[in-house]
Structure 1
Amino acid sequence: MVREGRPRILVIGTGDTKADELTFMRERIEAVDGRAVMMDVSVLGDPPYRPEHDRHAVAEAAGTTIDAIAKSGDENSAMTLMALGASQLARSLYDRGEIDGIIALGGTMGTDLALDVALALPLGVPKFVVSTIAYSHLVPPDRIATDLMMILWAGGLYGLNSTCKAVLSQACGAVVGAARAVVRPQAERPIVGMSSLGKSCLKYMVTLKPALERRGYEVVVFHTTGMGGRALEAIAAQRGFAAVLDFSLQEVANQHMGSVVNSGPDRLENAGRSGIPQIVAPGAIDMVDFPTWQPVPARFAERPYHAHNRLLASVTSDGETRREIARAIAGKLATASGATAFILPAGGLQQWDQEGEPLHEPDALAAFIEEMRETMPESVELHEIAGHINDDAFCAKALEIFDCWVAEGIIRPGVAG
C-alpha cells in the first residue's frame, strides 16, 4: 500500500557542526514533497536553526540532562548516552505515529548513534544512514538493522560542495520514496523463519516451504552468507517468529573461526533467548567462508578450497575444527529458554560432502557427529537420522517435530488459507 500524504522523515545529526548539510537535506526532503522533522543530537552547542526535537529532549529521553552528558567523561560516553536518547525518542515518535522514516548523517560518531536508532525501529520503517564509513568493516554485523540502507558520504568531511550535494540529495529522495512505497509486514499468518545456504548446497526448503504453507504458515527463508543470518537474529530478538527452523549454521562456524563473513556473536541465540520454539540442524558447518580477494587464512592453507565468485570463497575444516564448532553450537543451544530440538544427519551436512563429491571427508564428519552427541545439552531434544541433510528423511523428521509441537501447543497453529 502506498502511503497517502507527505512522508514525515526524522532527520538526525549534530546541528552544531553540520547545520549546512542538515538544512540542505531538509530542503531536499521538502522539495520532493516530504516533511522533514529535525532531531539535533549535538552535545556542546545548539544549531543555528530550531529543531522539532532538540538536544535537551534527546538527553531527557535518555533519563539525564545535556549538561550531565557533556560532563560524562569523554566523547564516547557522551555520544553513547545521546544514542540511547535518540533511539528512545525516535521509537516513541514512531509509536505515536509522528514519523514515517528516518535519515541520519555522520562520520564515525554520527554513524555509531544512527545504527542504534535504526535498530530501535521495526522492519518496514525506512532507515537511511549517510556515512563516511558506509560499507566499512568498522560496522559489525550485529549493529546493522534488518532493512538498513546506507550511502557513502563522499566529500562530506567539511561543508557543502557539489560532490556531497549529489549524495545527500539522492539519500533524501531515496528515504522519501521508500516511505511512500513501503509495504510494511502484516502478519496475517504465523511466520516461520528458516535458514538455508542457496538451493544447491541445501535443498530442504524446496520441500519444507510449501509443506508449511499448506499448514497455514508464512515461511521466510534467510540466506546465510553473513547478513542473512543477521536479519534472522534481529527479527527473532523482536519475537517476530512463531517458530524458527535454523538448519544452516555456517555463519556460526565462520564466527568461531574469525571470518568476517559472519552474523555477529549472537548467531543461534536470539530465538532461544526470546523463547521461540526452534528446530536446529548443522547445515554446512563443515565450510568456512572468507573473502575471495583476501589470502587463504594460514590455518586453512592446506584444506580444500573453492572460489564461489570474486567475493566469496570457502574452505573445509578438519575433524578437530569441526569438534570445536560442535561445542560452540552446543553452548549456544544450552542458553535457550524455549523448546529446542536438534536434528543430527549422520549422512552429511551439505550437497558436496556426499560420497563421490569433492568435499567428502567421512572421518571429519564422524568427528563432528560424535562431538555433537557428547556435548548436546539435556534441555535439547536430539533427533539423529542416518541420512543426509538433503534427503527426504530429513524433511520428514523436521515436519514430524513441528507437527508434534503444534499438537502440544508449543507452536501456534497455522491459519487456514
Structure 2
Amino acid sequence: MSVVIVGTLDTKSEEIGFARDVLEEQGLDVHVVDAGVMGEPEFEPDTSAAEVAAAAGTDLETLREDADRGEATAAMGEGAAAVAQELHDEGVLDGVLGLGGSGNTSIATAAMRALPYGVPKLMVSTMASGDIEPYVEARDVTMMYSVADVEGLNQLTRRIISNAALAIVGMVANEPEIETEEKPTVGITMFGVTTPGVQAARERLEDRGYETIVFHATGTGGQAMENLVEQGVIDAVLDVTTTEWADELVGGVLSAGPERLDAAAETGTPQVVSVGALDMVNFGPEDSVPEEFHDRNLHVHNPQVTLMRTTPAECAELGEIIAEKLNAATGPTALALPLNGVSMLSVEGEDFYDPEADAALFDALRESLDDHVELIEVEADINDEAFVDAIVDRLDEYVTAQNTGE
C-alpha cells in the first residue's frame, strides 16, 4: 500500500518528513511530491518540484523569476493534480495526505480533487475550521484542522500529524468489502421539501432492481451528481429537484453553477427532470437575506436557513433556462411537471402557494421545449404518489429500451 504526500518542501520539509516516517513505521510505502517553489527541499522527494511544474506546462525557474505567489500556487496545483492522476493510473497511489497552510492546502487539495471518488484523501490544514468549500468543492476530501500552524515540531503538531498519518493508514490499509451488484445506477436529487416524493421514488426504483444514489440539492450535491454522470458511475438520472438553478439565477447561497443539467445532456444519459423546489431561493439566517429582498415572501425554514419565494418573472426565466438545457440533450429526456405544487410549500394553503408563479414556470417550459424532449404533466403535487409513479415509470422505460436496444 502506498500513500502520496503532497507538500511544499521548501517550507515544510521537517513536518512532511515526520509524517513520512510515521507512515513508513506502519509498513506503508510513501511517495513524496514536492510542490515548493521558492527554496530547496531538506530531503530528496520522489517527485521533484521541477517535475510538478513541468506537469503544469511551465518550469520552476520561470515561477521563481516571476515571484508571483498566486500564479505559482495555481501552477503547482495543476501540476500536482496531473502527477497524482498519473501515480494513481500507475497503481502506486492508494491514498493522499497533505499538510500545510493556505498555499499548500490549495495545491494538495487540487491533487486530491483530481482523483476518483473513494480514493482516501486527507488534508491537515490551518484553513480547516473556516470555509472549506474552495478546497473540497464536490469531492470526498477529508479536512482536519491543524490547531497550530504547521510550522515546526512540538508536542501539539507531532500529535496532530501523527493522528492524521494513522488516519490515512486506516483508510488505505482497511479497504472495506463493499458488495456490488451489476445494477443500473440512478442519481436522484432531493431537498427537504421534496423528500417524501424522492423517498417513494427511490423505493420503487430499488424494487425494480436499480441502485440509487440520492444527492442533496445544496449546490455541491448537484455538482457531485454532475461529476458522477460525467464519470459514467450513474446510468440514469431522476432529477426531481432542480432548485439549485433558482439560487444561481437570483443569487441564493446554494447554486450549483451554470453547468448544472449539462452532464446528462452531453453524455446521452437517460433522464427525467422535474421542477422540484423552484419555488424558492435559499439564504442563511433571516438577518443574512440581502436588503433588496426584505419585502419578498420569506419563510424561515430553520434558524440557519431562510427561503424566499420566486416571483412569476423569475419562474418564467427559470423555465427558459431549464428548457434550453434539456433541448441540448443527446439521450432520452423527459420533463415532468407536477401541476399542483413543485414543493411542500407551494401546495394550496402553504406559504409559497402562488398559482401565477407556477403558471409562469410551466408556460415558459411548454413554449421553450423542443419536440424531442418529452413533456409529462400530472395533476398532482411533486410528492404525490401519482406523480412519483409517472416519473419512475418513464425513467424505467428509457433505461429498459436503452439496455435492450429498442
Regarding TM over 0.5, the answer is yes
Q: Given the superposition, is the C-alpha separation of residues 274 and 78 from structure 1 closer, same or farther in structure 2, using an over 3 Å criterion?
A: farther
1:168-226 Cα offsets, whole Å, 9 max, x none, are 3332222222223343875632211111113x643222332232223322111112223
Residue number among 226, 231, 236 corresponding to 1:243 in the alignment: 236
| Residues 347 and 387 in structure 1, CA contact (< 8 A), matched pair in contact too | yes
Q: Which amino acid aligns with 2:307?
A: S
| Residues 150 and 157 in structure 2, CA contact (< 8 A), matched pair in contact too | no
Structure 1 gap segments, 5+ residues each: 1-6
Q: Given the superposition, is the C-alpha separation of residues 331 and 138 from structure 1 closer, same or farther in structure 2, using an over 3 Å criterion?
A: farther
1:183 lines up with 2:176 in the alignment: yes
* Structure-2 residue corresponding to 1:275: 268
1:318 lines up with 2:328 in the alignment: no
Structure 1 residue 367 displacement after superposition: 1.7
Question: Helix, strand or coil for the counterpart of 2:392?
Answer: helix
CA RMSD, 1 decimal = 2.7
Q: Given the superposition, is the C-alpha separation of residues 187 and 80 from structure 1 closer, same or farther in structure 2, using an over 3 Å criterion?
A: farther
Question: Helix, strand or coil for the counterpart of 2:33?
Answer: strand
* Structure-2 residue corresponding to 1:10: 4
Q: Which moved more, 1:35-44 or 1:104-113?
A: 104-113
Q: Given the superposition, is the C-alpha separation of residues 108 and 374 from structure 1 closer, same or farther in structure 2, using an over 3 Å criterion?
A: farther
For residues 408 and 307 of structure 1, the distance between their equivalents in structure 2, rounded to whole angstroms, comes to 44
1:64-84 Cα offsets, whole Å, 9 max, x none, are 543345457833333333222
Residue number among 250, 260, 268 corresponding to 1:257 in the alignment: 250
1:110 lines up with 2:75 in the alignment: no
The residue correspondences of 1:154-173 to structure 2 (distance < 5 A) are 154-156=147-149, 158-173=151-166
* Structure-2 residue corresponding to 1:406: 399
| Residues 387 and 393 in structure 1, CA contact (< 8 A), matched pair in contact too | yes
* Structure-2 residue corresponding to 1:44: 38
Question: Helix, strand or coil for the counterpart of 1:12?
Answer: strand
Q: Given the superposition, is the C-alpha separation of residues 282 and 51 from structure 1 closer, same or farther in structure 2, using an over 3 Å criterion?
A: same
Given the two structures, how large is their TM-score scaled by the length of structure 2? 0.89
| Residues 15 and 151 in structure 2, CA contact (< 8 A), matched pair in contact too | no
Structure 1 residue 55 displacement after superposition: 1.6
| Residues 265 and 326 in structure 2, CA contact (< 8 A), matched pair in contact too | yes
* Structure-1 residue corresponding to 2:220: 227
How many residues matched? 404
Question: Helix, strand or coil for the counterpart of 2:362?
Answer: helix
Question: Helix, strand or coil for the counterpart of 2:203?
Answer: helix
Q: Quote the sequence identity (%).
A: 35
| Residues 193 and 243 in structure 1, CA contact (< 8 A), matched pair in contact too | yes
Q: Which amino acid aligns with 1:267?
A: R
Residue number among 58, 77, 102 corresponding to 2:71 in the alignment: 77
* Structure-1 residue corresponding to 2:56: 62
Q: Which moved more, 1:268-277 or 1:9-18?
A: 268-277
Q: Which amino acid aligns with 2:280?
A: M
Question: Helix, strand or coil for the counterpart of 1:17?
Answer: helix
Relative to its length, the structure with more helix (as a share) is 2
For residues 20 and 188 of structure 2, the distance between their equivalents in structure 1, rounded to whole angstroms, comes to 40
1:309-355 Cα offsets, whole Å, 9 max, x none, are 33322222222222232233233334433332211122110112111
1:3-33 Cα offsets, whole Å, 9 max, x none, are xxxx421110110111122122223333555
Structure 1 residue 47 displacement after superposition: 0.7
For residues 126 and 216 of structure 1, the distance between their equivalents in structure 2, rounded to whole angstroms, comes to 29
| Residues 270 and 399 in structure 2, CA contact (< 8 A), matched pair in contact too | no
Residue number among 18, 21, 25 corresponding to 1:27 in the alignment: 21
Q: Which amino acid aligns with 2:401?
A: E
Q: Which amino acid aligns with 1:21?
A: E
1:336 lines up with 2:311 in the alignment: no
| Residues 202 and 283 in structure 1, CA contact (< 8 A), matched pair in contact too | no
| Residues 105 and 111 in structure 1, CA contact (< 8 A), matched pair in contact too | yes
For residues 111 and 331 of structure 1, the distance between their equivalents in structure 2, rounded to whole angstroms, comes to 38
1:296 lines up with 2:289 in the alignment: yes
Given the two structures, how large is their TM-score scaled by the length of structure 1? 0.87
Question: Helix, strand or coil for the counterpart of 1:248?
Answer: coil
1:356-379 Cα offsets, whole Å, 9 max, x none, are 223222222122212222223444
Residue number among 120, 127, 146 corresponding to 1:153 in the alignment: 146
Q: Given the superposition, is the C-alpha separation of residues 384 and 71 from structure 1 closer, same or farther in structure 2, using an over 3 Å criterion?
A: farther
Question: Helix, strand or coil for the counterpart of 2:44?
Answer: coil
Q: Which amino acid aligns with 1:100?
A: D
Question: Helix, strand or coil for the counterpart of 2:14?
Answer: helix
For residues 118 and 145 of structure 1, the distance between their equivalents in structure 2, rounded to whole angstroms, comes to 11
Q: Given the superposition, is the C-alpha separation of residues 157 and 178 from structure 1 closer, same or farther in structure 2, using an over 3 Å criterion?
A: closer
Residue number among 387, 396, 399 corresponding to 2:380 in the alignment: 387
Q: Given the superposition, is the C-alpha separation of residues 183 and 71 from structure 1 closer, same or farther in structure 2, using an over 3 Å criterion?
A: farther
Runs of 4+ with >6 A deviation: none
For residues 105 and 399 of structure 2, the distance between their equivalents in structure 1, rounded to whole angstroms, comes to 43
